[in-house]
């Protein structure tokens, strides 16, 4: 199946989000609520019966469509390659007249389209990361045709989710449903904007849950997809990315993310990130700027009959513990190699995807009850989850700090965790704005580049970058990563 989905993912890359295929690719308490505005975080899941008869979709459609938005993005032209500054710059100011120096080839600006779901009355919207990734401009079109400029709050490439905010009040929003209790065979609706056809609703049933190995693994290891998809046969096409999957109560149960396809268009099955993950990720992105994931610190393999025979296991239902990471929470709690994890917090973990989904709903420092089968006997352990650094600290993401440099004619912003992973850097600043008549613009340097050093000195924040430029005159040396991922050294 993985190879058959691949063509769609390729189209998704080429068209910069126009297609649904993502190239990437947790319940939350009220402490993560968004301000005082009504939101999906503070509105309880409905307990009433599904309105209408089986197959009656009008209630859910009418309830959900006002809260699903059309997201349009624009990306600046990307360079086809760049060379180092030329000595001709000193004399002519415009690069080598014979084709060297700062000259570059450019592609045309890229425009893309997707969907999003309003989750609070004051304008927070959840969508796919691949819909807004690398976007320079985001326009959000509401169901009533009003348009707003969108701002990215933060993104999570691992789950392919992002949160965007618009400045608006009293917006309709969807409440979070319960994807854990969603049943195979249950009717669902997909709401989005396929092919720029706004407010489109399609219906289908839940075909399967906990699907994994849908998204290709990143060969460079920049992201580690978190996969436990809801599979449906509701028609979903390019432009539906980030749109809503709702139950017949009109509650959000998933975010539509990928489709099974050989051509890039719908071929019978679509995949949605379950709302159990959406809730956790979006809440963390809003509150912390990144996702706080708890880890057991165990190496796991799904148990099958061959593995059970090889390791002399007494069960074939669960996830095998093959080893531990450094500072493993599971090992400290008493788990051992050859244990088979059968439940976490009372929920059966027959697959690795289910185990990871449950654990990743938790934050570092939270305690989970882990049931293991050890030599045929069930044993219970309380495990205090840790972060990737092996402790229980909460790690905040980007604070949104920005600083302006009049010397370079540019504004600098902090790097998100996604930026650091994407550009393979541990520190630096991102160029978020460029003055048309500024020094960076004069040398053809684009918005979105990452500057890691100024005059051979590493910079870790916008304020450090401004301090490194303070009082400077004449030429200056910049090192960093271009928008296409290539390394650069410029002498301006």
Residues identified as active-site: 130, 160, 241
Determine, yes or no, domain membership for 167: yes
Q: How far is CA 176 from the centre of its chain?
A: 18
393 located within any domain: no
- Supply the pLDDT for residue 37: 86
Q: What is the mean pLDDT of the chain?
A: 82
CB atoms within 10 A of CB 265: 17
160 has binding-site annotation: yes
Residues 187-211, buried b or exposed e (16+ Cβ, 10 A)? Answer: bbbbbbbbeeebbbbbbbebbebbb
Place of tokens 């450090």: 464
pLDDT at 101: 41
H or E stretch at 430: strand 429-434
Find which of 31-35, 236-240, 442-446 is predicted with most confidence, using mean pLDDT.
236-240
Please tell me what DSSP assigns to residue 10: H
Which range (118-127, 246-255, 450-459) has the least confidence? 450-459
CA pair distance 192, 307, nearest whole angstrom = 43
Write out pLDDT tens, residues 119-137: 999 999 999 999 998 788 9
123 and 179 both lie in a single domain:
yes
Query: Above 50 in pLDDT, residue 371?
Result: yes
Domain boundary among 240, 261, 288: 288
User: Would the annotation count 413 as a binding residue?
Assistant: no
Give CA separation, 271 vs 88, 253, 300, 301, 454, in Å.
54, 12, 24, 24, 45
In angstroms, rounded to a whole number, what is the distance separating the alpha carbons of residues 449 and 405? 15
Distance CA 448, CA 484 (A): 10
User: Residue 379 domain-assigned?
Assistant: yes
Q: Which domain holds residue 466?
A: 402-491
CATH number of domain containing 423: 2.30.42.10
DSSP assignment string, 216-236? PPPTT-S------EEEE-S--
Each residue of 207-231: pLDDT tens digit? 999 888 776 655 444 456 777 899 9
| pLDDT for the residue 134 | 79
Asked, for residue 237, whether it belongs to a domain, the answer is: yes
% the chain with pLDDT above 70: 80
pLDDT range class, residue 110, cuts 50, 70, 90? confident
Mean pLDDT lowest for which of 70-84, 278-292, 351-365? Answer: 70-84
Q: How many domains does the chain have?
A: 3
Q: Can you tell me whether residue 287 is helix, strand or coil?
A: helix
Q: Are residues 437 and 348 in the same domain?
A: no
Q: Same domain, yes or no, for 323 and 458?
A: no
Q: What is the predicted pLDDT for the residue at 107?
A: 55
Pairing of the two strands 402-405 and 410-414: antiparallel
- 138-152, 277-291, 325-339, 436-450: the lowest-pLDDT one: 436-450
218-222: which pairs have CB atoms within 8 A and are 24 or more residues apart?
Answer: 218/23, 218/24, 222/157, 222/421, 222/422, 222/424
At 403, the pLDDT band (50, 70, 90 cuts) reads: confident
pLDDT more than 90, % of the chain: 49
240 assigned ligand-binding residue: yes
Tokens of 409: 């004619």
- Cα 43 to Cα 66, 143, 254: the distances in Å are 17, 22, 17
130 a known binding residue?
Answer: yes
Separation CA 278–CA 289 (nearest Å)? 15
- 241 in a known ligand binding site: yes
Average pLDDT over residues 92-113: 52
Residue identified by tokens 């490439």 is: 157
Judge if 362 and 426 occupy the same domain.
no
Q: How many whole angstroms separate alpha carbon 442 and alpha carbon 419?
A: 25
Reported as a single tens digit per residue, the pLDDT across 482-492 is: 888 889 898 88
Tokens (6 digits) for 182: 């969603």
If asked whether residues 303 and 283 sit together in one domain, one would say no
pLDDT in tens, 167-187: 999 999 999 999 999 999 999
Q: Is residue 315 part of a domain?
A: yes
Same domain, 323 and 467: no
């Amino acid at each position: 199946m993985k190879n058959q989905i691949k063509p769609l993912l390729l189209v998704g890359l080429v068209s910069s989000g126009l297609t649904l295929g993502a190239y990437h690719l947790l319940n939350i308490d009220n402490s993560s609520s968004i301000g005082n505005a009504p939101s999906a975080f503070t509105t309880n899941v409905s307990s009433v019966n599904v309105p209408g008869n089986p197959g009656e979709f009008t209630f859910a459609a009418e309830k959900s469509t006002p809260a699903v938005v059309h997201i349009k993005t624009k990306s600046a032209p990307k360079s086809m390659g760049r060379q180092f500054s030329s000595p001709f710059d000193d004399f002519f100011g415009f690069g080598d007249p014979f084709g060297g120096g700062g000259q570059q080839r450019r592609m045309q600006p890229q425009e893309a389209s997707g969907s999003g779901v309003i989750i609070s009355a004051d304008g927070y919207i959840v969508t796919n990361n691949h819909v807004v990734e690398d976007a320079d401009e985001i326009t959000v079109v509401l169901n009533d045709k009003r348009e707003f400029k969108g701002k990215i709050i933060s993104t999570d490439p691992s789950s392919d989710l992002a949160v965007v905010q618009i400045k608006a009040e009293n917006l309709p929003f969807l409440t979070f449903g319960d994807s854990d209790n969603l049943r195979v065979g249950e009717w669902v609706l997909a709401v989005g904007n396929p092919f720029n056809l706004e407010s489109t609703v399609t219906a289908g049933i839940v075909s399967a849950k906990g699907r994994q190995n849908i998204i290709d693994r990143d060969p460079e290891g920049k992201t580690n997809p978190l996969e436990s998809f809801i599979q449906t046969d509701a028609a979903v096409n390019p432009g539906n990315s980030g749109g809503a999957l709702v139950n017949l109560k009109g509650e959000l149960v998933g975010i539509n993310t990928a489709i099974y396809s050989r051509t890039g268009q719908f071929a019978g099955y679509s995949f949605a990130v379950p709302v159990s993950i959406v809730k956790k990720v979006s809440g963390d992105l809003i509150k912390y700027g990144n996702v706080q994931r708890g880890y057991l610190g165990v190496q796991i393999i799904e148990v099958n009959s061959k593995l059970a025979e090889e390791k002399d296991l007494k069960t074939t239902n669960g996830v095998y513990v093959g080893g531990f990471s450094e500072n493993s929470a599971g090992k400290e709690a008493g788990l051992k190699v050859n244990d088979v994890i059968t439940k976490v917090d009372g929920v059966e973990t027959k697959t690795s995807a289910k185990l990871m989904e449950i654990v990743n709903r938790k934050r570092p420092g939270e305690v989970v009850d882990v049931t293991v089968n050890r030599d045929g006997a069930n044993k219970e352990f309380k495990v205090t989850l840790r972060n990737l650094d092996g402790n229980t600290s909460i790690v905040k993401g980007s604070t949104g700090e920005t600083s302006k440099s009049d010397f370079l004619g540019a504004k600098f912003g902090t790097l998100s965790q996604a930026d650091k992973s994407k550009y393979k850097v541990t520190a630096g600043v991102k160029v978020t704005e460029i003055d048309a008549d500024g020094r960076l613009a004069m040398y053809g340097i684009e918005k979105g580049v990452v500057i890691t050093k100024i005059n051979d000195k590493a910079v870790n924040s916008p304020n450090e970058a401004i301090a490194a430029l303070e009082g400077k005159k004449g030429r200056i040396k910049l090192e960093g990563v271009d928008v296409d991922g290539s390394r650069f050294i410029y002498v301006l």
